[in-house]
Amino acid sequence: MSMFEKNKMKGADFHRREFLKKGAALASVTLASGVTLMALSQGAAASANPNIRWGLLIDANKCPSDCNACISACSNEHGWEDTGLDTDPQWIRKVTLKNKNTGRETSLPLMCQHCEKPPCVDVCPTGASFKRADGIVLVDRHICIGCRYCMMACPFKARSFVHEKIEGQKTSSPRGKGTVEGCNMCVHKLDAGEGTTACTQACETSGNGAMIFGDLNDANSEISLALANYPSVELRDDLRLNLGVRYKNI
Amino acid sequence: MRALFLAFFIIFPLSFIGSLAQENSVNSLFPNVAKAIGNPHPEGSEYWRINHPDLLRHDRDKVVRDGERKIDASIKQCVTCHAVFGDDEKPVKADSEQFFCATCHEFAAVKIDCFSCHTSDPDVNFLEEALAQYNPNSGISDKQIEMMRAYLLKEKK
């Protein structure tokens, strides 16, 4: 089908629908500009809000090596399963660090660090890897071709490739063979206004309370206050990626 | 040329599927498209038959890119209102020929890959809403409604 015919097939109806939508928006602005402009901007706040930057602070001292609450919560929420095969996806994993001199071991959960300047977005040839207005780094699996450049580029090995056909996905977390996936900061929960993630909730429920989730741009949020008052680090700060996930006591 | 072929052999017959399949469901050459619960599309089914790819494509970008989830065309809602229950009293999966999308897509030999990522199971919240507004004259069989209610009870636990 030629381009011309394709456009023709979309037809007047499609444009009528667009026109009705845009027309309605335009009308509401012009009828009562002051009021509706405010209403529209509030509507935008329900979705990805550019004034927010979601972040996570993890206190490694409060994270016991035998606790997997965050991992099983993530697995339940998004429907991925790590059966031990090398090719199984891991949206979040526990990592143990050992200081060779002192022998001190630190356990911490590691997932997508939601960089301000994500290398995975830089290398993506299709634009599938992208950063949302509120700082969440995602894969648009509609246009992901499964090339795995992003997996190579990620300094944290935070992304997984789906090798096998998947059935029984969660409605809120579509995922499928041939695409790359990773932590999405429970974007469906945030868009629904829950303001937290499955891992953070599970960590609270377990009683460890090692994770604080919140808006890094809000100076009065719990996470911003904790970052302002106590020392914390970014992993691989030499890369200057300005991560959304920060750690304490490692 | 391909467009002409499409228009005459696919779009044109598809546009009559609704009426023909209803009157002549056993012997019709056209696919027997299952009835849906929930409110009919305000734009009309005819409009949706032709434009559903564009509508879905437009709204998916709004959801994924902008996080705007209050949209008109959500695949979650499609599979819920158009759910078909099989003999095993479970919703049929996307790989079944009875699945709503499959009835026409098999007929037209157009492959879709939506359901390699998205689940084809109805969403519990939307199903509850649709069943609450269900119009008994919509032509959907009582047995289907019964199975939907049973499914809802089971899934809500």
What is the per-residue pLDDT across A218-232, written as a single tens digit (0 to 9) for each? 999 999 999 999 999
Q: Are residues A127 and A15 in the same domain?
A: no
Same domain, A39 and A93: no
Same structural domain for residues A221 and A184? yes
What is the total count of domains within chain A? 2
3-state secondary structure of A226: helix
Are A185 and A66 found together in one domain? yes
Rounded average pLDDT over A39-68: 81
| Mutation to test the A interface, candidates B119, B120, B125, most A Cβ within 10 Å | B119
Enumerate residues 33 to 62 of chain B having a beta carbon within 8 A of any beta carbon in chain A: 43, 47, 50-51, 54-55, 60-61
In this structure, the answer to whether residues A131 and A187 fall within a common structural domain is yes
Q: What is the CATH number of the domain that holds A244?
A: 3.30.70.20
- Shared domain for A66 and A34, answered yes or no, is no
Q: Quote the pLDDT of residue A11.
A: 42
Instruction: Examine the domain organization and report whether A7 and A70 are in the same domain.
Output: no
Cross-chain residue pair B2–A1, CB shorter than 8 Å: yes
What one-letter code names the amino acid at A240?
R
A64 and A40 together in one domain: no
pLDDT digits (tens, 9 = 90+) for A157-178: 999 999 999 999 999 999 999 9
User: CA–CA distance from B115 to each of A123, B96, B111, B140 (Å)?
Assistant: 27, 12, 11, 24
The pLDDT score that the predictor gives to residue A46 is: 62
Percent of chain B that is helix, strand, coil (3-state, to 5): 55, 0, 45
Query: Are residue A204 and residue A242 in the same domain, yes or no?
Result: yes
Sheet holding A211-215, edge to edge: A211-215, A54-59, A245-248
* Half-sphere CA count of B55, side-chain side, radius 13 A: 20
Beta strand spans in A156-225 (E): 160-161, 180-181, 211-215
- Name the β-bridge partners of A173: A170
**Tens of pLDDT, residues A46-57:** 689 999 999 999
Q: Of residues B29 and A106, which shows the higher confidence score?
A: A106
Chain B nearest CA to A132, separation (Å): 6
Mean pLDDT across B15-24: 48
Nearest to A134 by CA among A242, A51, A191: A51
A136 and A232, same domain (yes or no): yes
Please state the φ and ψ torsions of residue A177, each to the nearest 5 degrees.
-60, 140
Query: What's the CA gap between A10 and A84, in Å, rounded?
Result: 48
Whether A48 has its CB under 8 Å from any CB of chain B: the answer is yes
Closest Cβ–Cβ partner in A14, A165, A187 for B51: A14
Which residues in chain A are contacts of B93 at CB distance < 8 A?
167
Say what the pLDDT of residue A37 is.
41
Complex ipTM, two decimals? 0.77
Residues A73 and A134 in one domain: yes
- DSSP state string for B63-132: HHHH-----S--HHHHHHHT--B-TTSSBPPTTSTTSHHHHHHHHHT----GGGTS--SPPHHHHHHHHH
Note whether A161 and A239 are same-domain residues: yes
pLDDT at position A169 is 94
What's the domain range around A9? 3-45
Query: Which H or E run contains A107?
Result: strand A105-111
* A43 pLDDT more than 50: no
Please tell me if residue B150 touches chain A, with a CB cutoff of 8 Å.
no
